[in-house]
A and B are shown apart, each in its own frame.
Chain A
Amino acid sequence: MKKTVAVFFGGRSPEHDISIITALSSVIKPLLLTKKYDIVPVYITKTGKWVSDAKLLDIKTYQGHMIDDLTKKSKPLAVNFDGGFSIGKKRIDIAFPAMHGAYGEDGSLMGLLRMAGIPFVGSDMDASVIAMDKVLTKQVASANAIPTSKYVFFARTDITENVRAVVAKVEKSLTYPLFVKPAHLGSSIGISKVKNTLELTNALEVAAYYDEKIIVEEAVPNLIEVTVPIIGNSILTPALVEQPLTIGDNLFDFDKKYLSGGGKKGGAKQSGSQGYSELPAKIPSQLYEKSLSVAESVYKVIGATGIARIDLLIDEKKGEVYFNEVNPLPGSLYAHNWRASGISGIELVEKLIGYAEERFEEKNKLTSTFDSSFLQQF
């Protein structure tokens, strides 16, 4: 008997459109090809409405006005927590979040699915919350002796109320050049590289437009930026260490990742969901191994399960590998890297479903209630 998998995508996030591609090309298509699963697509609009319809499985639905008509006409989706989880009349066996950014990748959806009591793919709520907060992840990494670049962080109100004081504090603690980032956004949205006071002031104001919490980091010199996708729960399987290729300002922003085909430098490059990259990264074997080791350590200490992608910064001269950030649900699952690592698109989604079920079973073994005489006192 086929299992029913609900795939969640879209969402109230700047990465809404990327999420649609992740869901359709890297999750739903391979799941359908296995012939083992029935798919219930759950599309969350930019305004937060939930829609489920077979037409959502076709990319053409999103390329014109059809998606607007569909979402307008569709009735509010009934979700039942009746000793299980049902969407409309369909009982869901497994959930597969394919969402990026806020209200999806940040633990919100995972909280809902935890309440529903069904297995779901990817990290649980707590790990997702940590992973989606660039400050929290650095704090957790530092507490576990994993090197990170120097950083300071501020609340949005600190910046809106007295940006000069914030600038002064940054300049006292860190040395230019610096990166200014909204703490919770992915896909490099709102990120700036700054080299002086004026640029820093502007960048802080831009970042404060996007997020409640803003982090400022010291740039790593002699930089090689690499990323390591990992899957697994207790036993981890890393993919290849991948080096995104950038030009000009050394910043791999949203346009480069998704719109301009990456920072193409020429030569033999791998074109993946995130533009062009060197796959595997052409770095000394010692740095390659160190990158894998740091990435696996980060994955473990934040409590990630299922899948995540760990971004690292390498100081080539020093031979030091710094943890940069975690992406608990990488765009298109980084399927291009997994294929190059010997795991096909179908194998990847099947493994992820297996990890979800394994974690669910492990969790079910734990005792979540205990009998007490507390109420008898009243």
Chain B
Amino acid sequence: MKYFTRYLSVYPTALLYMLQDTEYRLDRYAKWFLRTNDFTKVMKRRSLEVTPKIKLLRMVLWGLWALIILAVAVLVIIGYTSQSFMLGLIAILLVVLLPYILAFGIIVPLLVGAFVIQKPRERAMIERARAIFKDSKATRIAIAGSFGKTTMKEILRTVLAEGKIVAATPGNMNTAIGISRFASRLIGDEEVLIIELGEEHVGDVKLLSELSRPTMGVITGINEAHLISFKTLDKTVSTVFELVDYVGKKAIVYKNGESQLVRDNVTSEDAYVFTQKGVNGWKVTKSHTSLDGTHFTATKGSTTINAHTHLLGLHTIGMTVTAIAIAHDLGLSAKQIEAGLQNVEPFEHRMQPRKLHGAWIIDDTYNGNSQGVQAGLELLASLSAKRRIYVTPGLVEQGSSTQDVHELIGQQAAESADIVVLMQNSVTDYIVQGLSDSDFKGEIMIIDNPLEFYTNLDQFVAAGDVVLMQNDWTDNYK
């Protein structure tokens, strides 16, 4: 019966939702479409956002539908009057194929739009951006890595803004077109530009470096993210280190020494490898973290910085001390740096604490990497609470490491949480296995309706609880 949901009125909306939710990436759309059987249950997390693009596609979809129905009607009438069995058969075939014609027919205007309008327009924008960066006198700091890019960018932006005119790529605008859009909005008086470089395929960081011409860089860490497209971790490493190839010989690139894959690719003499202990002569002491934020002292020569950010977790210290080092080298005073650090707030959905009925909720739902999971679980373990509750669906795109990564998450969660809440999906069993391997004695809750859980969180928690919510899967993952 589920098959016939393809003939319900919700079907075209479900197709449009799938396109929108996969950000019009046709490979993901096609995979999602082909594995879906019940189209009434596609929209779980949100509903279709009616944008001008969706309006246009909806018109195309209904136009296509009307055309096929008309064709079927004409075939039936002609077939009946001319007693043609073949025409009747074609009409039936059209009805059977209707859902597939709609599903794949809708791709045509997208492809036409992309190649005829979007691509030439984007090419022109990228060329303009290339010229803007070439003429720019600003210090250009590129940030690359599998994780931590946004956090690093925001710490740097907030601290440097105390003494410099700073502009940074907004949100996740880290592709060639995103960076070019950012360039088009620059006024020209900026003293520092912070540019986040995205990576999904070999050569991406090199291309984006050639576009934005960074004079300095930060590699925030490397892990299994995008392993499906990179195929091997070596390719991920070499892609991220394309930033060093571009900048490194003549300028500075800070590198996260707490990321194993970064550490394996730097020399012990490299002064720009940052950890919780410091970087480039800066020594970190008296560090501690709580729900109030993270405190530490950084000292280099006669300069001492009493750092207090509102970020949670000791893992943020490495990036923070890097920001201190960069700010100091760019001429900011200790006072300016300390004031800037005070303004560093948790970023939306990244280790962001909030109170709910006396319970602490740490929203880390934008965290989709194994290092972030470990950092979050370490923080959870360090907090005193009536109940420490860990909520996660697991991680996506872990390639052949999927089972190992999730068993490890289970083992780490067993040490940190009293209750583990898992969103039922393809990796749940691996996490449960990890919990079991560590002889977890607490409660395991498996949730089959994540949206219901998230919207009713107030019913699950009470004063004294600390809840860590890590990662959230969109509807196109299962």
| Chain A interface (Cβ < 8 Å from any Cβ of B) | 29-30, 33, 336, 338-347
Contacts and interface: CB of A to CB of B under 8 A. Distances in A.
Contacts of A342: 358, 386, 462-465
Contacts of B456: 29, 33
By Cβ-Cβ distance, the 5 closest A-B pairs, closest first, are A345-B459, A344-B462, A339-B357, A339-B462, A342-B464
A116 to B, nearest CB: 29
Most-contacted residue by chain A among B458, B459, B460 (CB, 10 A): B459
B452 interface: yes
B459 A341 contact: no
B461 interface: yes
B463 A345 contact: no
Interface in B439-478: 452-453, 456, 458-465
A33 B464 CA distance: 21
Contacts of A338: 462
A339 B460 contact: no
Given A33-B459, A341-B462, A344-B461, 5 more contacts: A339-B357, A339-B358, A340-B357, A341-B463, A344-B462
Q: Which one of A29, A30, A344, A346 has the highest number of Cβ atoms from chain B below 10 Å of its Cβ? A: A344
18 contacts: A29-B459, A30-B459, A33-B453, A33-B456, A33-B460, A338-B462, A339-B357, A340-B357, A340-B463, A342-B358, A342-B462, A342-B464, A342-B465, A344-B459, A344-B461, A344-B462, A345-B458, A345-B460
Contacts of A344: 459-462, 465
Contacts of B463: 339-342
Contacts of A343: 462
Nearest to A341: B463
Contacts of B459: 29-30, 33, 344-346
Interface centre among A29, A30, A336, A339 (most CB of B within 10 A): A339
B81 to A, nearest CB: 49
Nearest to A336: B357
B15 to A, nearest CB: 29
A209 to B, nearest CB: 40
Interface string B374-417: 00000000000010000000000000000000000000000000
A131 to B, nearest CB: 26
Q: Which of B453, B463, B464, B465 has the most CB of A within 10 A?
A: B463
Contacts of A347: 462
A338 B463 CA distance: 9
B94 to A, nearest CB: 39
Nearest to B386: A342
B460 A346 contact: yes
A336 B461 CA distance: 11
Among B357, B386, B464, residue most surrounded by chain A Cβ atoms (within 10 Å): B357
A24 to B, nearest CB: 12
A6 B465 CA distance: 30
A284 to B, nearest CB: 22
A49 B456 CA distance: 32
B386 A33 contact: no
A234 to B, nearest CB: 24
Nearest to A31: B459
Contacts of B461: 339, 344
A361 B463 CA distance: 32
Contacts of A33: 452-453, 456, 459-460
A339 B460 CA distance: 9
B460 A340 contact: no
A336 B458 CA distance: 10
Interface string B150-176: 000000000000000000000000000
Contacts of A336: 357
A345 B359 CA distance: 13
Contacts of B464: 342
A11 B438 CA distance: 52
Contacts of B453: 33
A204 to B, nearest CB: 42
A283 B462 CA distance: 23
A33 B458 CA distance: 11
A33 B461 CA distance: 12
Contacts of B357: 336, 339-340
A303 to B, nearest CB: 28
Interface in B190-247: none
A344 B460 CA distance: 6
A338 B359 CA distance: 12
Contacts of A341: 462-463
A29 B460 CA distance: 11
B389 to A, nearest CB: 10
A140 B456 CA distance: 41
Contacts of B452: 33
Nearest to B456: A33
Nearest to B453: A33
A30 B462 CA distance: 13
A156 B358 CA distance: 46
B447 to A, nearest CB: 9
Contacts of B462: 338-344, 347
A120 to B, nearest CB: 22
B450 to A, nearest CB: 13
Interface string B341-373: 000000000000000011100000000000000
A29 B456 CA distance: 9
Contacts of A346: 459-460
B438 to A, nearest CB: 25
Contact of A340 (B358, B386, B458): B358
A216 B155 CA distance: 66
Interface in B61-109: none
